[in-house]
Structure 1
C-alpha cells in the first residue's frame, strides 16, 4: 500500500497542518477488549496547524494537548504552541536542554551511526529516567479524565517529528493495557508513512547543515522507525523495569490500583 493510501486510512486522521497524526486506539488487548479509538492521539508538533486543522482537532473532542518539547527546542525552532479555543496546551518537557545544540547533536549522530539499535535503546532509557514527572502528568490525565480525549506530541522540526518521545509514550500506554507486541511495533513503524509528506523537505534542510553532512548515515538511522528498534526498547523496559506497570509504579506516584483504572478507562467492551 502506498504512503498516500496509508495516510488516508485509520489510524491516521486528517488534521490540516499537522503531520503524523493518528489515534493509538483500535488495537486489541490481552483480555479481548480493544483500546478506545477516540481517547488518545499522537502526532508531530502542532505549531503549523491551520484554522481548518484547529476545528478538526476540536471536532475530535481533544481538549488537552501535551507538548513534550524542551524550552531549548521551542526557542531555537521558534515553534510556539498555537492558540486553539477550548484546548489546553500542557508543557511536559522531556529531554536535556542542550541535547540538540551543535556539540550534543554531533555526539548523538555519531552514536546512531556507530550502533543504531543501541542508540535507540539508550535514548529510550534516558527518556524514562529523566521524563518520569512528565510521563506521570500524561498518565494522570488518563486516570483522572477518562472521557476527555488528549493528544501528545514532540517536535516536527527535528529529524524525529513525532517518533521517539511520542513513540515511547504510545508504547508504554499500549504495553500497560495489554496490547500485543506486534501491534506496538506496527504502531511505531507507521511513523515511516506519517513522515512521508515532509521527508524530502526534512532531508534538504538537514543536508544543508555541516553536522548532518558529516554524519549523514547517523541522521538517516536516527530518523528511522524500524520495528526492530521498538522490539529492543520493549525488551529493555521489561528487563530493567518489569514492563510498563513496573516502570510507572517505581518512577511515579501511581499505584497498581491506579493503573488498573487506566486500563479500564482506555478499553471498551466488545
Structure 2
C-alpha cells in the first residue's frame, strides 16, 4: 500500500483525480471460493463537479467512459454542483432515493436522529435507500451485466451512503467475504479525511447543519458496526442480496450469474 504524502490517502485502492473526493477502485477483493474481483474496472467516488483540468487528464487515463450520478436533482441545484461535460464520457443521471430528502426540514429531522441514535439513523436511511433507489440500482446492474469490459464510476455527493449501498450489494452479490465488505465501507472515513476541513466550512455556512452539528458529525461516519448491521438487514428483510435483486430490481438468476462471471477471476 502506497501513501501519497499530499493527501495521506493510501494508493491503492484510492485513485488520485484532482478535484474529486473519496475516489477509489473497487477491486481485488477475494471471495469465499477463492475467486477475485477484477481490479480497476469499477470505481466509486464523491461528487465530480469540481474536477480540475489536471483531474480530467487523470480521469481519462483510467479509461472510465460511463459515470452514474446517484444525486437528486434538487441536491445538484441547491449545491450548484452540476456535473461538467467530459470528453468521451457518458454521464447517466440515476437519482437514488427520495427527491425531497434534501430539503431543510427533512435534513433537520434526519440530523436529530443521527444525534440521538447513530446506528438506527443509518439503518433507517439505508433501508430507505434500498427501498427507493431500485430504478437507479437496476440501471447500473444492467450496465454491469451488458458491458463487463468498460470501466465505470458510481458516485453521489460524498460517495458514502447511496454509493455505499450500491457497492455493498455488488460485493455481496459477488461473494466477497463479509469482513472485506465491512473494511471497504469503512475506507470512506479515510477517503473523506482530506476534504473534511472544506466540507465543515461548507456545512457551517448552512443553518440547518450548523444548528444540528453533533448530528452532522455522526452522519459523516462510516463505522464497521454500521455495515455489519446493514448486511444483517439485507439478509433479514430481503432474503439476502439475490433476493433483493430478484424482488426489488427484477433481475433473474441468469442476470445474476452473468454479473458474477463478468467481474470475478
TM-score (norm 2): 0.95
Q: Which residue of 1 aligns with 2:172?
A: 175
CA distance in 2, matches of 1:205, 1:52: 24
Deviations 1:8-54 (A, max 9, x none): 42100111111100011010012211100021100001001112222
Pairwise CA RMSD of aligned residues?
1.5
SS of residue paired to 2:153: strand
CA distance in structure 1 between the partners assigned to 2:139 and 2:204 by the alignment: 36
1:37-48 matches, within 5 Å, as 37-48=39-50
- State the alpha-carbon separation in 2 of the partners of residues 66 and 154 from structure 1: 9
**1:112–1:219 Cα contact (<8 Å) kept:** yes
- What is the distance in 2 between the residues matched to 1:38 and 1:9? 12
For 1:227 and 1:75, how far apart are their aligned partners in 2?
A: 32
Quote how far apart the aligned CAs of 1:209 are.
2.9
Aligned equivalents of 2:142, 2:33: Cα separation in 1: 23
Separation of aligned partners in 1, 2:254 and 2:99: 34
Residue pair 2:4, 2:11 contacting (<8 A) in 1 also:
no
Once residues 57 and 266 of structure 1 are traced to their aligned partners in structure 2, the CA distance between those partners, rounded to angstroms, is 21
Q: CA deviation at 1:248?
A: 0.5
1:27 corresponds to which of 23, 26, 29 = 29
Query: Which of 130, 135, 152 does residue 150 from structure 1 map onto?
Result: 152
Q: Extract structure 1 runs of 4+ deviating beyond 3 A.
A: 1-6
Match of 1:231 among 228, 232, 246: 228
Greater mean deviation of Cα atoms: 5-14 or 172-181: 5-14
Which of the numbers 181, 191, 194 marks the counterpart of 2:191? 194
Bigger mean CA deviation after superposition, 94-103 or 17-26: 94-103
Q: Give 1:230 deviation, angstroms.
A: 0.9
* Aligned partner of 1:263 among 242, 249, 260: 260
Q: Structure 2: give runs of 5+ residues left out of the alignment.
A: none
Task: Go from structure 1 to structure 2 and tell me whether the alpha carbon gap of 1:166 and 1:208 turns closer, same or farther (over 3 Å shift).
Answer: same
Listed as ranges, the gaps of 5+ residues in structure 1 are 156-160
1:98 aligns to what SS in structure 2?
helix
Q: Is the 8 A contact 1:3 1:193 kept in 2?
A: no
Rounded to whole Å, the distance in 2 between the matches of 1:207 and 1:246 is 41
Q: Deviations over 1:75-118 (max 9, x none)?
A: 11111111111110000001222211111110010111111111
2:163: which partner in 1? 166
TM-score by length of 1: 0.93
Aligned residues: 263
